[in-house]
């Protein structure tokens, strides 16, 4: 019995297991961005706060897209607990770097999901993950830009606000987004 258990451990995680975990990862990203938004709001940075309140909803939608997909494919859905987000930030650069790191981690997770679908010869799974792969390219690029802007602004935080007021958060992901369980927020 113990031997079989060990064998199971060495097995690669299935697409369904990774997707179930990713629901939690997307909710964790959502909480992380709420934490950044609230921190920015308390620092009187309404543009930065607004961007992250919005982005938090986007991550919540990602989680619920995955939930809808699992419902559609008859996979049992459990909504997982999420780890606590960072408590405090030293400044906008620190907050934005934490968000950039978060997006890079998620990109690796999404790539692993795509690969798992391919390994399992699951074209629907692959196709579902494609939208998220494109989304990650965009989100990493946008966050990278914000880190650069914040680094250049240094102590003059108002310059970040000016930049955000000028630049709209436009999406270049032209694919049709997957359906969101309960509707997008
Ligand atoms: Fe996401
Ligand atoms: Fe994201």
Q: What is the pTM (predicted TM-score) of this model? A: 0.92
Domain range holding 149?
Answer: 14-166
Q: How far is the CA of 19 from the centre of ligand 1 (A)?
A: 12
CB proximity list for 19: less than 8 A, separation 6 or greater: 66, 69, 70, 75, 113, 125
> 134 in a domain, yes or no?
yes
* Residue 178, number of CB atoms within 10 A of its CB: 20
Work out how many domains the chain is built from and give that number. 1
Q: Which ligand is nearest to the CA of 59?
A: 1
Cα-to-centroid distance, 41 and ligand 2 (Å): 20
CATH at 60:
1.20.1260.10
- Asked if residue 173 is part of any domain, the answer here is no
Question: What is the 181 CA–ligand 1 centroid distance (Å)?
Answer: 15
Tokens of 23: 């629901």
Q: Out of 1-15, 84-98, 148-162, pick the least confident.
A: 1-15
Pairwise CA distance, residues 73 & 54, whole Å? 29
The pLDDT confidence band at residue 1, using thresholds 50, 70 and 90, is very low
| 120 in any annotated domain | yes
Domain assignment present for residue 156? The answer is yes
Tens digit of pLDDT for each residue in 136-161? 999 999 999 999 999 999 999 999 99
Q: Has residue 28 been placed in a domain?
A: yes
In the block, which residue shows the tokens 């966050």?
143
């Amino acid at each position: 019995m113990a031997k079989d258990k060990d064998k199971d451990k060495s097995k690669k995680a299935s697409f369904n297991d990774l997707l179930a975990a990713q629901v939690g990862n997307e909710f964790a990203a959502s909480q992380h961005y709420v934490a950044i938004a609230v921190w920015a709001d308390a620092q009187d940075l309404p543009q930065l706060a607004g961007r992250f309140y919005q982005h938090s909803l986007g991550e919540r939608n990602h989680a619920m897209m995955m939930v809808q997909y699992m419902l559609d494919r008859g996979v049992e859905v459990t909504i997982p607990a999420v780890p606590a987000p960072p408590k405090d930030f030293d400044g906008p650069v620190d907050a934005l770097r934490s968000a950039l790191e978060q997006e890079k981690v998620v990109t690796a997770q999404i790539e692993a999901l795509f690969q798992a679908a391919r390994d399992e010869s699951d074209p629907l799974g692959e196709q579902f993950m494609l939208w998220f792969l494109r989304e990650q390219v965009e989100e990493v690029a946008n966050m990278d830009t914000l880190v650069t802007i914040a680094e250049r602004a240094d102590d003059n935080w108002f310059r970040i606000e000016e930049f955000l007021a000028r630049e709209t958060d436009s999406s270049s992901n032209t694919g049709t987004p997957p359906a969101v369980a309960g509707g997008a927020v």
